[in-house]
Amino acid sequence: MARLLRNTLLTLATGALVAVAVLAGHVTAQDWRSASREPAGLAPDAASTPEAVVQFYAARTVGIKGIAGVHTWVAVKPSGAREYTVYEIMGWRARRGLSALVIRNRAPDMRWFGAEPELLADRRGAGVDELIRRVDSAARGYPWQEEYTLWPGPNSNTFTAWVARAVPELEVDLPPTAIGKDYAGTRILGTAPSGSGVQFSLFGLAGLLASTVEGLEVNVLGLSFGINPFDPAIKLPLIGRIGPARALAKSAAAPSGAPTATDATGPAATSGQALAAKVASELRSVSNAVSAGGPASVPVIADAPRGRGVPIAVTPPPLPAATR
């Protein structure tokens, strides 16, 4: 038993190093000023889509921080609206004494300074305007608008988890790379970020959650490990979710030709699947080497540039009257 535990821990530790090495190759040195902010084609065109839409997104953060974590945000479009409203947290604003909460009109699926976004939740059509009203109310009632702490929170992922709890119908499963999602201030016991199940959390540094959306997750120093038997997947720090593409909860069909989180094609899906396959292959090699009692080969991790803030001025506009 002791040997099995030792081998398991060694495999996980070595696997984490492998993941860092693999992901380091995906963190580029490009200046954030010149990085792509183009839409990824995951959202329906607002001008030609009369129905209401609500979506949750995640993308790797800027610079070396992107090896370990993602930035998450929420996008909504009420019925008849011709543009999206995006809710997100920007830490540099809090450091300047401003509210970190930003509410503005922009493309919902915009690349996060070059990083491809991943669609976490997508609901359209009847009943969505009411969900949008609850999203707006939860976002404006976020209790840490003047605070920002990269680790363990509150940060952008703490905000997205706060909003997701207000709309459990969306069944938002934030990835394990959303560091800060488990931060709940002084609240120790409550619902999981999806708004279902139960979560025990000590300031986001240690905890446990169980729900039919996230499965079972353990938080150790802000890093999430988990397994989801309901939507088969393994969840690991740095790597993220490993498993079949997740079917978004009760989402409407995407526009013809537009990739979604459940597609097996498209740049975002192809990149994510290739990365998951590469990491899985490396982990199998490590596991086999450990089981055989031989040394595991760990690649050298190249240095990556440190990310910088994004000094852009934004003014939160109000939502259309129909959603207030």
| pLDDT single digits (tens) 135-188 | 999 999 999 999 999 999 999 999 999 999 999 999 999 999 999 999 999 999
In this predicted structure, the answer to whether residue 234 has a pLDDT above a threshold of 70 is yes
Long-range contacts of 208-216, Cβ-Cβ distance < 8 Å, separation of 24 or more? 209/182, 213/171, 213/172, 213/173, 213/249, 214/173, 214/174
In this predicted structure, the answer to whether residue 75 has a pLDDT above a threshold of 60 is yes
The per-residue pLDDT for range 32-70, each reduced to its tens digit, is: 677 888 999 999 999 999 999 999 999 999 888 888 999
Q: pLDDT value at position 3?
A: 57
For every residue of the chain, which 3-state class applies, written as one string? CHHHHHHHHHHHHHHHHHHHHHHHCCCCCCCCCCCCCCECCCCCCCCCCCCCEEEEEEEECCHHHHHCCEEEEEEEECCCCCCCEEEEECHHHHHCCCCCEEEEECCCCECECCECCEEEEEEECCCHHHHHHHHHHHHHCCCCCCCCCCCCCCCHHHHHHHHHHHCHHHCCCCCCCCCCCCCCCCCCEECCCCCCCEEEEECCCEEEEEECCCEEEEEECCEEEEEECCCCEEEECCCEEECCCCCCCCCCCCCCCCCCCCCCCCHHHHHHHHHHHHHHHHHHHHHHHHHCCCCCCCCCCCCCCCCCCCCCCCCCCCCCHHHC
Higher pLDDT, 124 or 299: 124
Query: For all residues of the chain together, what is the average pLDDT?
Result: 78
Provide mean pLDDT across the span 96-125. Answer: 96
Q: pLDDT value at position 264?
A: 33
Residues spanned by the domain of 167? 2-323
Q: How many domains does the chain have?
A: 1
Rounded Cα gap, residues 239 and 294, in angstroms: 24
